[in-house]
Structure 1
């Protein structure tokens, strides 16, 4: 186990190298929302909803390993529900979510999913209109220093500018990682306007025809 954890640490350390600084970008709006957007009724609403859910709950028989043996890495965006999008039921899959649906950040959970709970396929799902395309690491770090008076230069927030390339990058990272099993890995872009998914694949280079003698 110590050797395994050491390997995980080395892989993650190599990925989170401090990037070169970006030039200043236009200022972002405050990341700290006004208190007027918070409702004191959220807690009671959730508790009331849970009572209704529990009243008809009949899924106690579900095993811990996911039935479909698949792990899904998706963005945390509230417009995206991976289970509904892919027609999954409770207990079918592991769904790992983070800002941008980045595979690097999901690696710890993928390792546990594969090694301890037997998943044997991976889906990477990013989406249109992703907020991770709206800022750079440099800009966000500057914002944190201003708003929270904290230095987060050691953290990589993994924004991206090209949506399709971000999917290809994450699929490639997982396929090349020595910590991820050799399993099917598919990348998709989810369209928040249509509800459709589109597979993203590396373009296939056509072989040139031999020239005539």
Structure 2
């Protein structure tokens, strides 16, 4: 698979220094984060954690989707998660275009109609973060003793700004 040679070489180097063998899969810092797939975000380092400390759930826009909720239910009930961060970010592509504009851009690049697909454009980030935090807090399988906070990460400063 020549398209992946550079990545496989980097993986072999990584494996030479791998220290998570036998890890139990528990979130050792008791943290889960739902955030965007944007490559400017380094979820663990932004909050001072390391591999093994937290469950990281990523998707376009950092939304609390049905699948993210499933992961959070498992995290809080089986994997010792006690705190959940919902983190959107500044200059997010999902928050800088309308749903129709995103569909048109995807369709243009793909060369086929994308109007049938829901992409999840974000109209108002702060309200979206608040709604996603409430979605977690009100879930019947996530107890009230789980701390849930909503934030917007500034990709230019590295700071998390509390929203909810």
Q: Scaled by the length of structure 2, what TM-score is found?
A: 0.85
Distance 2:22 2:112 in 1: 45
| Residue 159 in structure 1 maps to residue 108 in structure 2 | no
Q: Scaled by the length of structure 1, what TM-score is found?
A: 0.67
Distance 1:196 1:52 in 2: 32
| Residue 148 in structure 1 maps to residue 109 in structure 2 | no
The number of residue pairs the alignment matches comes to 160
Coordinate RMSD, CA, aligned: 2.3
How far 1:174 moved relative to its partner?
Answer: 1.3
Distance 1:188 1:149 in 2: 34
Q: Deviations over 1:24-67 (max 9, x none)?
A: xxxxxxxxxxxxxxxx9751111111111111112214211111
Equivalence for 1:119? 81
Q: State which structure, 1 or 2, has the greater radius of gyration over its C-alpha atoms.
A: 1
Distance 1:145 1:55 in 2: 42
The correspondence for 1:198, drawn from 155, 161, 164, is: 161
Assess, with a 3 A threshold, how the Cα gap between structure 1 residues 160 and 69 changes in structure 2: closer, same or farther: same
Runs of 4+ in structure 1 off by over 6 angstroms are: none
The gaps in structure 2 that reach 5 residues or longer are none
| Residue 71 in structure 1 maps to residue 49 in structure 2 | no
C-alpha contact (below 8 Å) 2:102/2:121 kept by paired residues: no
How far 1:145 moved relative to its partner?
Answer: 6.1
